Amino acid sequence: MALARRSSNLLKPLSTASSSSSFLNRRPFSTDDSTTITIETSVPFTGHNCEPPSRSVDTTPKELMNFFTDMALMRRMEIAADSLYKSKLIRGFCHLYDGQEAVSIGMEAAITKKDCIITAYRDHCIFLGRGGTLLESFSELMGRQAGCSRGKGGSMHFYKKDACFFGGHGIVGAQVPLGCGLAFAQKYRKEDHVTFAMYGDGAANQGQLFEALNMAALWDLPAILVCENNHYGMGTAEWRAAKSPSYYKRGDYVPGLKVDGMDAFAVKQACKFAKEHALKNGPIILEMDTYRYHGHSMSDPGSTYRTRDEISGVRQERDPIERIRKLILAHDLATEKELKDIEKLARKEVDEAIAKAKESPMPDDPELFTNVYRKGFGVESFGTDRKEVRATLP
């Protein structure tokens, strides 16, 4: 089977911070929030119908350290989920996000918990970014009561409404019109917030996306469409699925920005820029050039349609956590050992959360019938044997 590929820019080399103003002396890792460090993004932004923001991103030592810690936790969580799936504690579908952490982290750094996020099924790390806990995550994956959806949703259906995270959707592309709907409500209510509707390169060709985008543009909705382009829609490479894989340009009259999605600071800058734009001018598309190390899901080895060299190449050249590690070391914010300790701590936290999740019981049987409606009017519902199992929906 020929894996003929066009040339890809997937292995662009990292450039570490070239110009940085550091006010720090050499000292152990810092939680300094007041010092400004300026980081240059790996590559400049490319704009479509808009003037791209500057490559220089301001940050603080605390933010840098948090980026590292949070991404290390996300990475660990996904790797642990892989093992849990293989030991059959996680059932059904499991789509892992390792490699793409910078998109979630960078986005959260630029927005508030009152801005909405909606995504597809690769949602574990987005949930964590929104403030979800490891325990809720692992419990949900294993179908336990402590899960964020009390075990009834599963991997693809994580939600956190109090942090304006609206899931967690299994049907490719459906979340984009939904996201525009969230933005519609935000504008309707005159809120000063925006919605980030996330989707992949596979979903980018869905008709409903363009329908919703047209309306968002027509009505100036504060919707930001974020295409997480990891270059493969399940087993199909982007050039085999899209006549134009320049997803940031696909909005035509809607401006777009192409962003290095493996660079958390580029993502942060882009999301900040997009939020300002959306509140004033309506929708904008962000294309995050990113990569997933795992296959599409745990049922997909991920190596029949891409080479192992490509995967390890990206890991070596563009890994988001490695990038932050190099920045931290370059700015003397922490030692190598301290960073390794942070990773060990992440591992420990993940292991503890898994152990606690395993103790959480499975949902009680009557949960089969809860939450069918918000308001059921006392209507009857039935089990498989309608003479044996009936319930009244409150």
- For 122, the token pair is 């690769």
Q: Specify whether the CB–CB gap between 122 and 95 falls below 8 A.
A: yes
The secondary structure of residue 270, as a DSSP letter, is: H
CA proximity to 39, closest of 268, 258, 277 = 268
* Pairing of β 223-229 and β 232-233: unpaired
Residues 343-362, one symbol each (x = binds another protein by CB under 8 A, - = not), give: -------------------x
Backbone φ and ψ for 223, nearest 5 degrees, come out as -110, 130
> Across-strand partners of 227?
199, 287
Q: Is 44 in the site for another protein (CB under 8 A)?
A: no
Q: Is 304 in the site for another protein (CB under 8 A)?
A: yes
Nearer to another protein by Cβ, of 355 and 379: the residue is 379
Nearer to another protein by Cβ, of 154 and 251: the residue is 154
Residues 90-129, one symbol each (x = binds another protein by CB under 8 A, - = not), give: -xxx------------------------------------
Among 5, 55, 113, 240, binds another protein (CB under 8 A): 240
Element (H, E) at 198: strand 195-200
Q: Is 385 in the site for another protein (CB under 8 A)?
A: yes
- Cα dihedral 322, 329, 65, 314, rounded to 10, equals -10
Q: Is 368 in the site for another protein (CB under 8 A)?
A: yes
- For 261, the token pair is 């999605």
C-alpha span between 353 and 124 (Å, rounded): 14
Quick check: helix, strand or coil at residue 50?
coil
Give the binding range for another protein (CB under 8 A) out of 73-81, 86-94, 109-117, 276-284.
Answer: 86-94
Among 25, 207, 309, 374, binds another protein (CB under 8 A): 207
Tell me how crowded residue 377 is: count the other CB atoms within 10 A of its CB.
8
Among 1, 6, 21, 377, binds another protein (CB under 8 A): 1
The secondary structure of residue 88, as a DSSP letter, is: T
Q: Is 151 in the site for another protein (CB under 8 A)?
A: yes
Q: Specify whether the CB–CB gap between 120 and 198 falls below 8 A.
A: yes
C-alpha span between 100 and 97 (Å, rounded): 6
Nearer to another protein by Cβ, of 252 and 317: the residue is 252
Give the binding range for another protein (CB under 8 A) out of 58-66, 67-75, 165-173, 276-284.
Answer: 165-173
Residues 130-149 touching another protein, rule: CB under 8 A, are: 140, 143-144, 149
Among 132, 179, 202, 320, binds another protein (CB under 8 A): 202
Which residues of the chain form contacts with another protein (CB under 8 A)?
1, 91-93, 140, 143-144, 149, 151-157, 169-173, 202-203, 205-207, 233-236, 240-242, 304-305, 362-363, 365, 367-369, 372, 381-389
